[in-house]
Amino acid sequence: MRCVIIGAAPIKNYKKIRSFLRPDDFVIACDGGLNHIRKLRVKPSLIVGDFDSHKNPHSTIETIALPREKDDTDSVFALKTAIARGFKDFLFIGMIGARLDHGLGNLYMLLKCFEEGLTAMMLDDYSEMQLVGQKEALITDDYAYFSLLNITGAARRITIKDAKYPLENAEIKQDYQYGISNEVLKGKTAKVSVQEGCLLLIKIW
């Protein structure tokens, strides 16, 4: 079973986001993420939050109320809780919004999953985000663009095949992010791998 964690960041493209959801998903709504459940047409399996952006619904759904002064954000606490309960596959939505600090903090939940050998993807209104390492990632020509960003400090022996800008045994450093706005060759499926470290792969719809 996959765990879907819903944050409070704005969502406009509900129809597209709904297309990724499955009937058997275990859904965790994080505080303001409760504002999205009606339009996403989901029922939370668990509610987590300090309820500073949505009031506690005090429903029959399992709820973990958190203090407002804490180290973990509501989303990070939800992820840790789900990992402790044995989930290994994650989808994050409602995580990227106007607050850059929250957005970046949420983005690094992908790295936590990657380092623990878990599968994870994050969605916003425009794109799909995941980390790619030694296991080859595939990108079809349905996507307008794709970008590769170094968010970890080490990304070497990078290979990109069947794309407008291919790479072989390359390196992308944090101070020179030249992997932005690549394109899959028409009729092809691009292939990306990173033998040392990892890269953030963003596939733009």
CATH of the domain at 44: 3.40.50.10240
Structure tokens that stand for 201 in this block? 């792969």
Instruction: Give per-residue pLDDT as tens, 130-187.
Output: 999 999 999 999 999 999 999 998 899 999 999 999 999 999 999 999 999 999 999 9
pTM score, whole prediction: 0.93
CATH of the domain at 167: 2.60.120.320
Residues 29 and 45 in one domain: yes
Instruction: Give per-residue pLDDT as tens, 47-79.
Output: 999 888 888 889 999 999 988 888 889 999 999
pLDDT score for 52: 83
Residues 119 and 200 in one domain: no
Residues 115 and 15 in one domain: yes
Distance between CA atoms of residues 99 and 122, nearest Å? 16
Alpha helix positions (H), the chain: 14-18, 37-40, 74-84, 100-115
- Which pairs with CB-CB distance under 8 Å and at least 24 residues apart come from 130-133? 130/200, 130/201, 131/198, 131/199, 131/200, 131/201, 132/192, 132/193, 132/194, 132/198, 132/199, 132/201, 133/193, 133/194, 133/197, 133/198
Residues 57 and 147 in one domain: no
Task: Indicate the number of domains in the chain.
Answer: 2
pLDDT score for 82: 98
What is the rounded average pLDDT for all residues in the chain?
95
Distance between CA atoms of residues 158 and 161, nearest Å? 10
The domain boundary, picked from 125, 141, 156, lies at 125
Range of the domain at 99: 3-125
Distance between CA atoms of residues 205 and 193, nearest Å? 21
Report CA-CA distances (Å) from 15 to 6, 10, 11, 12, 112. Answer: 15, 14, 10, 9, 28
Tracing tokens 């400090």 back to the chain, one arrives at 153
